């Protein structure tokens, strides 16, 4: 990766972080953003906020988990790294504590197939992996495995993580998951929402292929 490339990706990463904050998905600077680059990944620094994150505070973490310099990567770098190792579709990863995702995750509830848009993440639900302490290898492994065949998952008693083919797709997935969790919470207030049947899912995925919904996944 040339210096110019690193600068370009770092600027885009900062813009993504600020956009997530602007749309309310990065409250209290609790999330982090990364992208895949040659030889490793770029990730927001430890202690990043929308105000203090600048391109020179984006950290290059090598594939072997090492980095140079005094600025530390986000404590969740292992989780981001595991997603890139597990899915070649991942070029950008967002981790956030967005409100409705946290509400679901704190009940350790997967998001069930109550709405066809849930299928945009690659299956008939969005899983919720069990709680592990932040920054641990265990959390990284669980999230990495969940994101092999889904574009997002909930993290028990914690938040969410999603991937995308680029920054924009990852932002869309983070927004979509938050909105769907909100819809589900609202629907649950009225009763027990009906879930789509297996037959309805088969039909959805058949149609989704034709209209290229799979670009999200």
Catalytic residues: 76
Using an 8 Å Cβ cutoff, are 119 and 180 in contact? no
Q: Which helix (H) or strand (E) holds 127?
A: none
Using an 8 Å Cβ cutoff, are 79 and 102 in contact? no
Beta strands in the chain (DSSP E): 32-37, 40-44, 58-62, 92-96, 128-129, 152-155, 159-164
**Tokens of residue 199, six digits:** 């037959």
**Tokens of residue 104, six digits:** 């679901």
**Strand ordering across the sheet containing 92-96:** 58-62, 40-44, 32-37, 92-96, 159-164, 152-155, 128-129
């Amino acid at each position: 990766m040339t210096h110019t490339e690193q600068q370009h990706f770092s600027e885009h990463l900062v813009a993504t972080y600020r956009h997530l904050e602007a749309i309310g998905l990065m409250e209290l600077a609790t999330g982090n953003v990364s992208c895949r680059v040659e030889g490793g990944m770029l990730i927001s620094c430890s202690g990043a906020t929308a105000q203090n994150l600048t391109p020179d505070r984006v950290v290059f973490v090598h594939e072997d988990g090492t980095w140079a310099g005094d600025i530390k990567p986000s404590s969740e770098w292992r989780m981001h790294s595991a997603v890139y190792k597990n899915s070649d579709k991942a070029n950008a990863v967002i981790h956030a504590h967005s409100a409705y995702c946290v509400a679901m995750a704190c009940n350790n509830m997967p998001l069930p197939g109550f709405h066809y848009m849930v299928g945009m993440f690659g299956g008939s639900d969005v899983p919720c992996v069990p709680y592990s302490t932040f920054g641990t290898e265990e959390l990284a492994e669980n999230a990495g495995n969940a994101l092999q065949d889904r574009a997002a998952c909930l993290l028990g008693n914690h938040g969410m993580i999603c991937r995308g083919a680029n920054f924009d797709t990852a932002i869309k997935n983070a927004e979509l998951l938050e909105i769907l969790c909100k819809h589900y919470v609202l629907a649950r207030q009225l009763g027990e929402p009906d879930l789509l049947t297996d037959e309805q899912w088969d039909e959805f995925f058949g149609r989704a292929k034709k209209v290229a919904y799979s670009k999200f996944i």
